[in-house]
């Protein structure tokens, strides 16, 4: 996950796109970080995801999005993984978390963005157009 690609990542919902740009920036920075910076950036990624997912969860609930339960469940699963990795990272055990960030996060994000987030964005755009 090198950088934000407007054609590939933009969903047409400004608040989601801005949050996703920040997420990609953090994951990219983690991929380049030395050990000291990795610990700090990983904690920032966890905090970012907490607020990112809470904002999306609120959008789903307020707009009565049909797949809210499944989408929130996915957010909770990823947060649980991040919390577990953060405990290891803050304890100085970085190797597995580095692999997770490098190998799992980009693949997960691309799939999540193109399925769950794209469906939410389409729902939100439709509501906004009809308002």
What domains are there in the chain, each with its CATH number?
A: 15-130 (1.20.120.50)
Sign of CA pseudo-dihedral 44, 46, 31, 5? negative
What values do phi and psi take at 28, rounded to 5? -65, -45
Report whether pLDDT(108) > 80: yes
Report whether pLDDT(125) > 80: yes
Q: How far apart are CA 119 and CA 102, in angstroms?
A: 26
What pLDDT, on a 0 to 100 scale, did the predictor assign at position 1? 58
12, 121 Cβ separation under 8 angstroms: yes
89, 44 Cβ separation under 8 angstroms: no
Task: Give the pLDDT band of residue 15 (cuts 50, 70, 90).
Answer: very high
Mean pLDDT on 42-62? 97
């Amino acid at each position: 996950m090198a950088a934000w690609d407007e054609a590939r990542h933009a969903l047409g919902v400004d608040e989601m796109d801005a949050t996703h740009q920040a997420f990609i920036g953090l994951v990219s920075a983690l991929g380049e970080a030395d050990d000291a910076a990795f610990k700090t950036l990983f904690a920032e990624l966890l905090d970012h995801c907490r607020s990112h997912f809470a904002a999306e969860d609120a959008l789903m609930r307020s707009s009565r999005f049909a797949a809210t339960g499944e989408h929130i469940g996915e957010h909770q699963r990823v947060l649980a993984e991040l919390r577990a990795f953060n405990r290891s990272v803050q304890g100085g055990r970085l190797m597995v978390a580095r692999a997770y960030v490098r190998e799992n996060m980009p693949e997960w994000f691309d799939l999540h963005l193109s399925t769950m987030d794209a469906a939410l964005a389409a729902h939100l755009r439709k509501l906004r157009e009809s308002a």
